[in-house]
Amino acid sequence: MTVILRAENLSKRFGGLKAVDAVELELNDGEILGVIGPNGAGKTTLFSMIAGSIPPTTGRVLLEGNVISGGSPRRAVRAGVVRTHQIVRPFQNLTVLENVMVGAIYGKARPLGARERALEVLDFCSLRDRAPQLPGGLTLAGRKRLELARALATEPRVLLLDEVIAGVNPAEALHMADLIRSVREKRGLSIILIEHVMPAVMRLSDRVIVLDAGKKIAEGKPQQVVKDSRVIAAYLGESASAAASAQPGPAGSPTPTSGAAPASLPTPPANPTPASIPKKGPGGHQ
């Protein structure tokens, strides 16, 4: 397997807070890597450093051996790495097509073919019929697909998806999951996926890493990771985890009552406002 993107000793400090703490990460060519962790774990900050939006305090990110961190989003996009934003904010006064054309032009020396590229990507994201409309008329799921289309229009090799499924209804979530799969299969992209919707993470990811308080606390196949006691503790809080593991499960094994089943880790709300962000999942500790 070829490693396409590598993060080495990546940290971000905001004043006294270590939002990301010495994270190492590898993304293989053609892989979908899930990133999970409780609210405030540092997932979005990790993306911001990989995508060049903020400089790392320590460490670096390499795409096929070339450093892409510490520059700018434009440099990362030119290199082939693009991210979507957790809180989608399309240009409200531009049409859906124009929004995607911004992506098609961004980071390119010449805007040649931007319109055609944008239309092709809109087609791929099932938004072609919305091309002349303003984004204000789209549902949240539509706006998330628009965010994906804008990112795809930059013609990346690595796509960073920040909660593109959370918050949409179940049918739209399935549609988005299919779309993500076909981004890999039909467009050949490698993907890192931050997502709170655990069934989607479980189904889509080849591998998952778990962040808690800025640190990578687990890594592996999705089915293994969600059974990891450190992961359950991170979501539920240490005491809840200890109490749960003290209760024998159906087969007599120590099985936490609420955290053991894959896909049953608590699902926080999408795009929580600062006031609503719990540091841990329900029942957790601050």
Ligand X SMILES: Nc1ncnc2c1ncn2[C@@H]1O[C@H](COP(=O)(O)OP(=O)(O)OP(=O)(O)O)[C@@H](O)[C@H]1O
| Residues that bind ligand X in the complex, under the rule CB under 6 A | 14, 17, 19, 37, 39-45, 86, 272, 277
Residue 190 binds which of ligand X, Mg ion, none (CB < 5-8 A, kind-dependent): none
Binding part of the chain for Mg ion, among 6-14, 43-51, 209-217, 224-232 by CB under 5 A, reads 43-51
In angstroms, give the least distance from the CB of 135 to ligand X. Answer: 22
Other Cβ atoms closer than 10 A to 80? 21
Residue 261 binds which of ligand X, Mg ion, none (CB < 5-8 A, kind-dependent): none
78-82 own/partner pairs: CB under 8 Å, 24+ apart: 78/107, 80/155, 80/156, 80/157, 80/158, 81/5, 81/50, 81/51, 81/52, 81/156, 81/157, 81/158, 81/160, 82/51, 82/151, 82/154, 82/156, 82/158, 82/159, 82/160
In angstroms, give the least distance from the CB of 269 to ligand X. Answer: 9
- The label of the residue with tokens 């971000």 reads 12
Q: List the structure tokens of 240.
A: 């809840």
Nearer CB in complex with ligand X: 98/212: 212
Nearer CB in complex with ligand X: 25/97: 25
Q: Which residue's CB atom is positioned nearest to Mg ion? A: 44
In angstroms, give the least distance from the CB of 73 to ligand X. Answer: 15
Q: What angle do CA 147, 235, 266 make, to 5 degrees?
A: 60
Residue 19 binds which of Mg ion, ligand X, none (CB < 5-8 A, kind-dependent): ligand X
Return the residue of 44, 99, 154, 205 that touches Mg ion, per CB under 5 A: 44
What residues form DSSP beta bridges with 209?
35, 219
What residues form DSSP beta bridges with 193?
34, 161
In angstroms, give the least distance from the CB of 22 to ligand X. Answer: 15
In angstroms, give the least distance from the CB of 86 to Mg ion. Answer: 5
**Of residues 79-118, which lie at the interface with Mg ion (CB under 5 A)?**
86
Residue 255 binds which of ligand X, Mg ion, none (CB < 5-8 A, kind-dependent): none
Nearer CB in complex with Mg ion: 11/44: 44
Nearer CB in complex with ligand X: 31/162: 162
Instruction: Give the side-chain half-sphere CA count within 13 A for 230.
Output: 13
Nearer CB in complex with ligand X: 49/118: 49
48 forms part of the interface with Mg ion (CB under 5 A): no
Residue 277 binds which of ligand X, Mg ion, none (CB < 5-8 A, kind-dependent): ligand X
Residue 205 binds which of ligand X, Mg ion, none (CB < 5-8 A, kind-dependent): none
Residue 177 amino acid letter = A
- Residue 164 near residue 86, CB atoms below 8 Å: no
Q: What's the Cα-to-Cα distance from 11 to each of 15, 160, 163, 208, rounded to whole Å?
A: 13, 18, 21, 19
- Residue 127 near residue 146, CB atoms below 8 Å: yes
Beta-strand relationship, 3-14 and 17-28: antiparallel
In angstroms, give the least distance from the CB of 18 to Mg ion. Answer: 16
- Phi/psi for 157 (5° steps) reads -105, -30
Q: Which residues bind Mg ion (CB under 5 A)?
A: 43-44, 86
